[in-house]
Amino acid sequence: MRWDLGRSSGVQDRRGMGAGAIAGGGGIVTVVVALIGYFVFGIDPRTFLETAPTQQVAGSGAVQASACPEGDTACQFADVIHTSTIDTWTPLFQARNQTYRPSQIALYTGGTQTGCGMGQSAMGPFYCPADDTIYIDLNFINTLEKDLGAGGDFAMAYVIAHEAGHHVQNVLGISEKVQAAQQRLSEREGNVLSVRLELQADCYAGVWAKQSNTKLNWLEAGDVEEGLRAAAAVGDDTLQKRGQGMVVPDSFTHGSSADRMKWFRTGYDTGNPSACDTFG
Distance (Å, whole) CA 156 – CA 147 = 14
Distance (Å, whole) CA 129 – CA 166 = 8
Average pLDDT for 120-125: 86
Cβ contact 230:254 at 8 Å? no
Distance (Å, whole) CA 96 – CA 110 = 40
Residue 238 pLDDT > 90? no
Distance (Å, whole) CA 216 – CA 50 = 41
* Model pLDDT for residues 10-45, shown as the tens digit of each residue: 999 999 886 644 433 333 222 223 333 443 333 344
Contacts of 172 (CB under 8 A, 6+ apart): none
* Mean of per-residue pLDDT scores for the chain: 84
* Model pLDDT for residues 139-151, shown as the tens digit of each residue: 988 888 888 888 8
End-to-end CA distance of the chain: 33
* Size of the chain, expressed as the number of residues it contains: 280
Distance (Å, whole) CA 259 – CA 261 = 5
* Model pLDDT for residues 52-104, shown as the tens digit of each residue: 443 333 333 467 899 999 999 999 999 999 999 999 999 999 999 999 999 99
pLDDT value of position 244: 76
Distance (Å, whole) CA 61 – CA 12 = 12
* Model pLDDT for residues 209-228, shown as the tens digit of each residue: 999 999 999 999 999 999 99
Cβ contact 86:116 at 8 Å? no
CB-facing half-sphere around the CA of 59: CA atoms within 13 A: 7
Number of domains in the chain: 1
Residue 266 pLDDT > 80? yes
Identify the band that residue 241 occupies on the pLDDT scale cut at 50, 70 and 90.
Answer: confident
Contacts of 15 (CB under 8 A, 6+ apart): 107, 108, 109, 138
Classify strands 133-136 and 104-107 as parallel, antiparallel or unpaired: parallel
Enter the pTM of the model: 0.85
The residues that bridge with 119 in the sheet, in sequence order, are: 112
**H helix runs in the chain, sequence order:** 38-41, 45-50, 73-94, 140-142, 153-172, 174-182, 187-216, 223-233, 236-244, 257-270
Contacts of 149 (CB under 8 A, 6+ apart): 229, 233
Domain that holds residue 84: 3-276
Distance (Å, whole) CA 277 – CA 220 = 28
pLDDT value of position 252: 80
Distance (Å, whole) CA 255 – CA 278 = 11
CB-facing half-sphere around the CA of 84: CA atoms within 13 A: 31
Q: ∠ CA(41), CA(174), CA(81), 5° rounding?
A: 60
